Amino acid sequence: MNKTNLAYILLAILLLAAGFWLTGQPVPRASLPVLTTSAGQSPDVTTVNIILEEAGIGYDYCDVPTPEILADGVGLGDRESEPGFHAEVHTDLNKFRKGTPFRSVILAIGASLKGMGASGLTVEAEEARLKKIIDYCQANKIFIIAVHIGGESKRGAPGSDNERMIEAVAPRANLLIVTRDGNKDGRFSKISAQKNIPLVEVNYALEIVDLMKKIFE
Protein backbone atom coordinates (compact mmCIF):
# COMPACT_ATOMS: atom_id res chain seq x y z
CA MET A 1 0.00 0.00 0.00
CA ASN A 2 1.46 3.34 -1.03
CA LYS A 3 1.53 6.42 1.20
CA THR A 4 -1.25 8.19 -0.74
CA ASN A 5 -3.72 5.33 -0.30
CA LEU A 6 -2.80 5.03 3.36
CA ALA A 7 -3.45 8.74 3.85
CA TYR A 8 -6.92 8.45 2.31
CA ILE A 9 -7.77 5.48 4.52
CA LEU A 10 -6.63 7.30 7.64
CA LEU A 11 -8.69 10.36 6.64
CA ALA A 12 -11.77 8.19 6.15
CA ILE A 13 -11.28 6.63 9.58
CA LEU A 14 -10.98 10.05 11.19
CA LEU A 15 -14.12 11.32 9.48
CA LEU A 16 -16.12 8.28 10.52
CA ALA A 17 -14.86 8.64 14.06
CA ALA A 18 -16.05 12.24 14.02
CA GLY A 19 -19.51 10.98 13.13
CA PHE A 20 -19.82 12.19 9.54
CA TRP A 21 -18.85 11.01 6.11
CA LEU A 22 -18.05 13.27 3.18
CA THR A 23 -18.61 11.91 -0.30
CA GLY A 24 -16.20 12.80 -3.04
CA GLN A 25 -14.74 16.16 -2.06
CA PRO A 26 -13.21 18.09 0.85
CA VAL A 27 -15.64 19.96 3.09
CA PRO A 28 -16.25 23.31 1.34
CA ARG A 29 -15.74 26.57 3.20
CA ALA A 30 -18.49 29.16 3.45
CA SER A 31 -18.35 32.77 4.60
CA LEU A 32 -20.30 34.86 7.07
CA PRO A 33 -22.72 36.53 7.44
CA VAL A 34 -25.33 33.80 7.06
CA LEU A 35 -29.12 33.68 6.87
CA THR A 36 -31.07 30.62 7.97
CA THR A 37 -34.51 29.78 6.64
CA SER A 38 -36.86 26.89 5.94
CA ALA A 39 -37.66 25.08 2.72
CA GLY A 40 -41.12 23.77 3.49
CA GLN A 41 -41.79 25.52 6.82
CA SER A 42 -41.08 22.53 9.07
CA PRO A 43 -39.66 23.07 12.60
CA ASP A 44 -36.33 21.57 11.44
CA VAL A 45 -34.99 25.09 10.90
CA THR A 46 -35.19 25.60 14.68
CA THR A 47 -32.77 22.70 15.08
CA VAL A 48 -30.45 24.30 12.54
CA ASN A 49 -30.53 27.56 14.51
CA ILE A 50 -29.71 25.71 17.73
CA ILE A 51 -26.80 23.98 15.95
CA LEU A 52 -25.37 27.35 14.91
CA GLU A 53 -25.76 28.71 18.43
CA GLU A 54 -23.94 25.68 19.85
CA ALA A 55 -21.20 26.24 17.27
CA GLY A 56 -20.89 29.90 18.30
CA ILE A 57 -21.92 31.14 14.86
CA GLY A 58 -24.07 34.25 14.61
CA TYR A 59 -26.90 34.27 12.08
CA ASP A 60 -30.04 36.04 10.96
CA TYR A 61 -33.24 34.03 10.61
CA CYS A 62 -36.36 34.58 8.54
CA ASP A 63 -38.99 31.94 7.88
CA VAL A 64 -40.19 33.34 4.54
CA PRO A 65 -37.49 35.63 3.12
CA THR A 66 -37.92 37.17 -0.29
CA PRO A 67 -35.15 38.38 -2.62
CA GLU A 68 -35.88 41.88 -1.32
CA ILE A 69 -35.27 40.79 2.27
CA LEU A 70 -32.07 39.02 1.26
CA ALA A 71 -30.95 42.16 -0.54
CA ASP A 72 -31.34 44.16 2.70
CA GLY A 73 -28.58 42.01 4.23
CA VAL A 74 -27.76 41.73 7.91
CA GLY A 75 -30.54 43.06 10.11
CA LEU A 76 -33.21 42.08 7.56
CA GLY A 77 -34.06 45.72 6.97
CA ASP A 78 -35.19 46.06 10.63
CA ARG A 79 -38.28 44.00 9.86
CA GLU A 80 -40.16 42.76 12.90
CA SER A 81 -42.02 39.51 13.44
CA GLU A 82 -45.78 39.47 13.01
CA PRO A 83 -48.42 36.76 12.41
CA GLY A 84 -47.23 34.64 9.49
CA PHE A 85 -43.77 36.21 9.43
CA HIS A 86 -40.78 35.70 11.73
CA ALA A 87 -37.48 37.58 11.68
CA GLU A 88 -34.62 37.31 14.17
CA VAL A 89 -31.21 38.97 14.13
CA HIS A 90 -28.44 37.03 15.89
CA THR A 91 -25.52 38.15 13.74
CA ASP A 92 -22.71 39.87 15.63
CA LEU A 93 -23.34 43.46 14.60
CA ASN A 94 -19.89 44.46 15.83
CA LYS A 95 -18.44 42.29 13.06
CA PHE A 96 -21.10 42.79 10.41
CA ARG A 97 -23.01 46.02 10.53
CA LYS A 98 -26.61 46.19 9.35
CA GLY A 99 -26.90 46.03 5.61
CA THR A 100 -23.83 43.85 5.12
CA PRO A 101 -24.68 41.47 2.25
CA PHE A 102 -25.25 37.86 3.20
CA ARG A 103 -22.60 35.53 1.85
CA SER A 104 -24.27 32.25 2.81
CA VAL A 105 -27.81 30.91 3.19
CA ILE A 106 -28.78 27.72 5.01
CA LEU A 107 -32.03 26.09 3.89
CA ALA A 108 -33.54 23.50 6.24
CA ILE A 109 -35.51 21.13 4.01
CA GLY A 110 -38.75 19.67 5.38
CA ALA A 111 -42.40 20.18 4.50
CA SER A 112 -45.10 21.02 7.02
CA LEU A 113 -48.60 21.80 5.78
CA LYS A 114 -49.34 23.37 9.15
CA GLY A 115 -46.25 25.57 8.92
CA MET A 116 -46.98 26.57 5.34
CA GLY A 117 -50.60 27.32 6.24
CA ALA A 118 -49.49 29.57 9.10
CA SER A 119 -47.39 31.51 6.61
CA GLY A 120 -50.21 31.69 4.09
CA LEU A 121 -48.42 29.39 1.65
CA THR A 122 -49.43 26.44 -0.48
CA VAL A 123 -46.89 23.85 -1.57
CA GLU A 124 -46.85 25.47 -5.01
CA ALA A 125 -46.31 28.94 -3.52
CA GLU A 126 -43.46 27.64 -1.37
CA GLU A 127 -41.81 26.07 -4.41
CA ALA A 128 -42.09 29.34 -6.30
CA ARG A 129 -40.70 31.32 -3.35
CA LEU A 130 -37.74 28.97 -3.02
CA LYS A 131 -36.96 29.29 -6.70
CA LYS A 132 -36.80 33.06 -6.38
CA ILE A 133 -34.53 32.84 -3.31
CA ILE A 134 -32.16 30.40 -4.99
CA ASP A 135 -32.14 32.41 -8.20
CA TYR A 136 -31.14 35.47 -6.16
CA CYS A 137 -28.42 33.56 -4.29
CA GLN A 138 -26.91 32.19 -7.47
CA ALA A 139 -27.02 35.57 -9.20
CA ASN A 140 -25.26 37.18 -6.22
CA LYS A 141 -22.76 34.38 -5.49
CA ILE A 142 -24.33 33.51 -2.12
CA PHE A 143 -23.26 30.05 -0.93
CA ILE A 144 -26.27 27.72 -0.49
CA ILE A 145 -26.19 24.99 2.17
CA ALA A 146 -29.13 22.58 2.04
CA VAL A 147 -29.69 20.69 5.29
CA HIS A 148 -32.03 17.70 5.65
CA ILE A 149 -32.09 16.52 9.24
CA GLY A 150 -35.67 15.30 9.63
CA GLY A 151 -34.70 11.75 8.72
CA GLU A 152 -37.30 9.31 7.48
CA SER A 153 -40.09 11.42 8.96
CA LYS A 154 -39.34 14.12 6.39
CA ARG A 155 -39.23 11.80 3.40
CA GLY A 156 -42.08 10.33 1.38
CA ALA A 157 -43.25 8.86 -1.88
CA PRO A 158 -42.27 10.57 -5.15
CA GLY A 159 -44.32 13.71 -5.57
CA SER A 160 -45.08 14.11 -1.87
CA ASP A 161 -44.66 17.48 -0.17
CA ASN A 162 -41.30 16.59 1.38
CA GLU A 163 -39.94 15.20 -1.87
CA ARG A 164 -41.00 18.35 -3.71
CA MET A 165 -39.09 20.50 -1.24
CA ILE A 166 -36.01 18.34 -1.75
CA GLU A 167 -36.33 18.67 -5.51
CA ALA A 168 -36.75 22.44 -5.24
CA VAL A 169 -33.57 22.95 -3.25
CA ALA A 170 -31.08 20.08 -3.20
CA PRO A 171 -30.07 20.00 -6.90
CA ARG A 172 -29.22 23.73 -6.78
CA ALA A 173 -27.27 23.78 -3.50
CA ASN A 174 -23.52 24.22 -3.10
CA LEU A 175 -23.38 21.76 -0.20
CA LEU A 176 -25.74 19.04 1.05
CA ILE A 177 -25.83 17.96 4.71
CA VAL A 178 -28.12 15.06 5.60
CA THR A 179 -28.68 12.49 8.28
CA ARG A 180 -28.12 8.91 7.16
CA ASP A 181 -31.66 7.80 7.95
CA GLY A 182 -32.94 10.51 5.62
CA ASN A 183 -30.79 9.16 2.79
CA LYS A 184 -31.48 5.43 3.07
CA ASP A 185 -32.75 5.34 -0.49
CA GLY A 186 -29.67 7.18 -1.72
CA ARG A 187 -31.63 10.10 -3.16
CA PHE A 188 -29.23 12.73 -1.88
CA SER A 189 -26.27 10.63 -2.97
CA LYS A 190 -27.73 10.51 -6.47
CA ILE A 191 -28.27 14.27 -6.54
CA SER A 192 -24.73 14.78 -5.27
CA ALA A 193 -23.27 12.59 -8.00
CA GLN A 194 -25.40 14.00 -10.81
CA LYS A 195 -24.88 17.65 -9.91
CA ASN A 196 -21.35 17.36 -8.50
CA ILE A 197 -22.46 18.76 -5.14
CA PRO A 198 -20.46 17.81 -2.02
CA LEU A 199 -22.55 15.69 0.36
CA VAL A 200 -21.94 15.17 4.07
CA GLU A 201 -23.84 12.47 5.95
CA VAL A 202 -24.10 12.48 9.75
CA ASN A 203 -25.60 10.05 12.21
CA TYR A 204 -27.33 12.69 14.33
CA ALA A 205 -28.22 16.33 13.81
CA LEU A 206 -26.09 17.59 16.70
CA GLU A 207 -23.00 16.17 15.01
CA ILE A 208 -23.40 19.08 12.58
CA VAL A 209 -22.15 21.47 15.28
CA ASP A 210 -18.47 20.65 14.66
CA LEU A 211 -19.13 20.47 10.94
CA MET A 212 -20.48 24.03 10.89
CA LYS A 213 -17.45 25.23 12.82
CA LYS A 214 -15.27 23.78 10.08
CA ILE A 215 -17.40 25.16 7.25
CA PHE A 216 -17.36 28.69 8.65
CA GLU A 217 -13.87 28.75 10.19
**What does pTM read for this prediction?**
0.87
- Look at residue 9 and tell me if it is in a domain: no
pLDDT at residue 154 above 90? no
Burial (Cβ within 10 Å: 0-12, 13-18, ≥19) of residue 173:
buried
Neighbouring C-alpha atoms within 13 Å toward the C-beta of 206: 1
Q: Between 161-169 and 123-139, two packed helices, what is the crossing angle to 10 degrees?
A: 10
At residue 19, the pLDDT reads: 42
* Range(s) of the domain holding residue 141: 23-215
Tally of domains in the chain = 1
- Look at residue 16 and tell me if it is in a domain: no
For residue 29, what are the contacts with CB-CB under 8 A and spacing of at least 6? 215, 216, 217
Please write the tens of the pLDDT for every residue from 160-204. Answer: 999 999 999 999 999 999 999 999 999 999 999 999 999 999 998
Q: Between 208-215 and 44-54, two packed helices, what is the crossing angle to 10 degrees?
A: 60
Please write the tens of the pLDDT for every residue from 126-137. Answer: 999 999 999 999
CATH code: domain of residue 113: 3.40.50
